[in-house]
Structure 1
Amino acid sequence: MRLKALHPLAGAVTGVSLGAAVALLVPGPLGPALGLLAAGAGLAASLRALERRNAEHRELLLAGLGEVKVRLATGAIRIDALSQRVELMPMRDVDAAPARAAINELTAEVGLLGDLIHQVATTLADHDEKLLRLPQAAPQMPASPLAAPAPAPEVRLDPEAARREHAEKLAAERAAAARAAREEAQAERAALIGAALSDGRVEVQLQPIVSLPQRRTRGYEALPGLRLDENTLLLPHEFLEIVDERGLGQTLDALVLTRALAIARHLAAKDGDVFITCNFSAATWASSRALAALTRILERYRDHIGRLVIEMPQAVFRSLDPTSLGLLGAMSANGVRFALDQVADLRLDPRSLFDRGIRFVKVRAALLGAHAEGRVASDIAAGDLAALLGRASIALVAEGVEDNPMAADMIELGVGMGQGNAFSPPRPVKPEVFAEPAPAAPARAEPPTARPTAEVLDYPQPSAPAAAEAQPKPERLPFRAVLRRASA
């Protein structure tokens, strides 16, 4: 039988039982005294066994915490190795950003668990230290019999509340780590976009604007794309928000305008009045200096700006300051036409729009359909809008036409032009369109026209005078000799 296998209370039970038996069996006052002594010895043995067991449990707990810390350190090393492998893999920066964010989040969680375990071990060590100091502090307490003993602080243990608090703290730290990783990925993506803009890696795609119902191409809208690498081309909805946040909208507008004017130059070499439209960012419309810079670009393409149409959101048009309106009028006087875009309501003044240089009004086909069906209240019927704008020499363009039934609805409303995937999706532009035209070759001097000779006129070439003098003259025969030769 092993004594360590017994329950700690076995000593107390044995001592009390032995003391009771001694008190009953030994006569006189010696029996109860021996019984109390035996009971006290049993209680002391039980307390000793309890302290020994608690010490063993504490040692096992500390050993387990140490093992968990070792495993966490091993896991952190493996995560670091995984991060290095991800960095060495042939991945695009856009695809590698989510993997890096997940690895950063996992590293943060491992570090958080390590901190919690270290906190538990520190708390246990502090508890042991305080327990060792209790016997030394006890004699210093006042031993006045009249002083009431100080009540011991009440300790309330609520495992559910502690677990909930720990879970909330862990969730908050995890959310903070995920937010930091997301911000880092966005910053990296913004840096890539900024570098692409600085290098001028802007590619323009064209979506045709057709006449209805003939579906003949009347113009194109230039939609910018940003080339990050050979396999990654960002569409406008993927980078315009970052461009606006980073203040790079003016740079993008200058690049797109230059390419749109190059396309207009290419269209001018063909028959037909085909135009090209492009958009400016809100930052450009809000800055008169940026508009002035774009006006200088237009000056270099003065011969081709008649085919350029600049789109302007309705909200921007209604909030332009006097300086921007003056620049708008200057561009309109030079031949630039404008289109009202992103129309939110149909409260339009055609005469005022025409005076400001507006020649096109682009309205979403879904909005026109909602007005036609009565789902949106309006002061003018959707079917009368095209005629109202047409009287002011403004063309109505229905954009976002996705299928043939929607195109048929626009034709019924009298819309003269349409744009959308029902007619054609955006398509890239051939590189030779942006090439500078070759300088015209100088006119060569015409050689002097030679006098037509007999050879040219398909006659025998006359002989030279010297050759004629060198030939012997024919012998002249008398008529009688000729007659004699003939009669013979």
Structure 2
Amino acid sequence: MARIVGRRTSLWATSLLGLCLIGPLAVFTPLGASLALAAAGLILGLVAQLRANRLAARCDKLSGEVDVLSQRLLRIETVARAIAEQQVRAADAGLPADRPEAAPDTSSLSAGIEEVTAEIGLLSGIVRELAAVVAAQDGEIAGLKAAPPPPPARAVVRAEARPEPRSLQVAPPRRPEPTAPPIPPWTPRAPGRSTPAIRDPERDAALLEAFDEQGLEVHLQPVVSLPQRKVVSYEALARLRVAGEILSPEIFVPVLERHGRTTDLDRRMLQRVATIARHLAGRGSQAAVAYGLSPRSLFEPGFLRSLGRLVEGEPDLSGRVMLALPQASWRSLDAEQAGALADLRGRIGFILDRPLDLRLDPLALADRGVAQVKVPADLLLRPGSYQTLSDIALEDLVAAFARAGIRLVADGVERETDVPDLIELDVPLAQGSVFAPARVVRSEVLNAPPPEAPEPVPTPNEAPEPPQRRPFRDFLRRAG
């Protein structure tokens, strides 16, 4: 304790002495005072670094001593087990316990126990001293990270009293006018190697022709629970078949964007997603089907309002059709888009996909109806390769999502060795080629007719409506 107090007192005395020297120096030569203050900060930083290195060395030494202690405890347990087995064998042989053949020599065991007890006491003292040193070091580092003190008031008064020449006076800068947030680009999250967009007009015409005909396919990739690996939902991925070749979205989506057809793609995919969800519900499955929506479709007038008709009149499909929006779209929603998504809540589920970072607010996302958050597995297991991370630990972030009712999905799991690490992080859901690749949906499932609405049964108190008379001109128009 005396050493810690002495260090703090020396730091305070040095700081006070530096301020007493830098204060008068700042009055006469502000530049020299700034350089002196910077040099003092550099020296203090080097001192803190040296102390941190010394503390790390002591921690390594303590870790080695703990390893030696664990080895001795393991040796003692082995000796005790051997003694117990010898006593059992003596009892089985019928030898009395007080005979020399049956009573082992326990002097070495007692000496070993006393030695281990002494070392435990010594290590406990070292740990307490190390904890005190770490606390003092943290306080000193926090003080060094604090902002430097402002310059003396006398120098500030002189600077303010000096008039500014009129030739150097400029008007205050104008504030930039607020502009609408840019539309984030659509980066489809599809497996496979990304291929640059082909800008050949003939190739574009072939892609558009295949898109307008029967070339659009739907592939499903399951999302499984951990550790059971049970399928809980599916993700619908768009594929385009051109001349027997299956193209990923990285190839044909840029062509659709240049021709303004991404909204048509989303409409057709969502209709097929609803058909697949209806097929799964008819088979008694509880799995939902999700689709990654293009951010450009959010700006299409009336597009979000029309999504409610996908599950209208079908209570069995409530929550089975899910929309995945990238994090950039969730952050740039305007009032109209937020209102349209709020009207869809309860009928269509929402997913946050393609995150830019992990600075997420689980409660705010839960208020918007987000049920799942998809995060790449590399971002969860190897966060050092990403620049922007969360302010809290990953374990706490997973627990925060669980408390808010949001399920975290580890996306893009490509290695079997990553699965135990995800289970250790308590990640509930996962998706990737390790569990199952994306497979095409059969045409008979997509071509199934929609269920017919049941005819209303008139109540006993309600008379049937009389037949309406139609003009003869309507009959001729229908016949023609």
Tell me the TM-score normalized by structure 2: 0.50
CA offsets 1:168-210 (integer angstroms, 9 cap, x no match): xxxxxxxxxxxxxx99962222212222222253110000100
| Equivalent residues, number | 258
Q: Structure 2: which 5+ residue stretches go unaligned? A: 1-195, 455-480
The structure 1 residue matched to 2:360, chosen from 348, 352, 365, is 348
Q: Residues 288 and 324 of structure 1 are in contact (CA less than 8 Å); yes or no, is this contact kept in structure 2?
A: no
Q: Distance in 2 between matches of 1:266 and 1:325?
A: 30
Report whether the alignment pairs 1:290 with 2:303: yes
CA contact (8 A) 2:197 2:255 kept: no
Give the alignment partner of residue 370 of structure 1, picking from 369, 375, 382.
382
* Corresponding residue of 2:276: 263
Q: Does 1:316 find its partner at 2:347?
A: no
Unaligned runs of 5+ in 1: 1-181, 443-488
Aligned-partner residue type, residue 232 of structure 1: E
Whether 1:429 aligns to 2:441 is yes
| Residue 55 of structure 1: aligned partner | none
**TM-superposition CA deviations, 1:435-458 (whole Å, max 9, x none):** 325979x9xxxxxxxxxxxxxxxx
Specify which of 205, 210, 222 is matched with residue 236 of structure 2.
Answer: 222
The 2-side partners of 1:228 and 1:343 are apart by: 31
Q: One-letter code of the match for 2:324?
A: E
- Equivalent position of 2:370 in the other structure: 358
Distance change in 2, residues 1:183/1:401 (3 Å):
closer
Aligned mates of 2:266, 2:426 — CA distance in 1: 33
What is the letter of the counterpart of residue 414 of structure 2? E
User: Please, which of 250, 271, 274 is the counterpart of residue 287 of structure 2?
Assistant: 274
Give distance in 1, aligned partners of 2:222 and 2:197.
Answer: 38
Q: Any idea what SS the aligned residue of 2:319 has?
A: helix
Deviates more, 1:347-356 or 1:375-384: 375-384
Contact kept? 2:359, 2:389, Cα under 8 Å: no
Report the CA distance between 1:282 and its aligned residue: 1.6
Does residue 240 (structure 1) correspond to residue 253 (structure 2)? The answer is yes
CA distance in 1, matches of 2:197, 2:404: 50
User: CA separation in 1, counterparts of 2:214 and 2:296?
Assistant: 19
Question: Aligned to 2:412, which of 369, 393, 400?
Answer: 400
Equivalent position amino acid for 2:267 in 1? A
1 CA distance for matches of 2:197 and 2:294? 24
Asked whether 1:249 is paired with 2:262, we answer yes
CA deviation string 1:332-390 (max 9, x = no partner): 14x21100000111111111111111000000001111338998643111122221101
The aligned residue for residue 133 of structure 1 is none
RMSD: 2.6
Q: How does 1:202-221 map to 2 (within 5 A)?
A: 202-221=216-235
- Partner letter of residue 368 of structure 1? L
Moved over 6 A (4+): 372-375
Using the alignment, how far apart are the partners of 1:328 and 1:263 within structure 2? 22
Identity %: 40
Hey, what does 1:191 align to over in structure 2? Answer: 205
- After superposition, give the CA deviation of every residue in 1:385-441 in whole Å (9 maximum; x if it has no partner): 22110101100000000011112221111100000011111011122212325979x
2:104 is aligned to none
Q: Closer, same or farther in 2 for the Cα pair 1:266/1:373, shift >3 Å?
A: same
Q: Higher relative CO (CA 8 A, sep ≥ 6), structure 1 or 2? A: 2
1:200–1:255 CA contact under 8 A, matched in 2: no
Distance 2:379 2:416 in 1: 17
Residue 278 of structure 1, CA deviation: 0.5
Q: 1:184–1:269: structure 2 CA closer, same or farther, 3 Å change rule? A: closer
Equivalent positions of 1:131-150 (< 5 A) are none
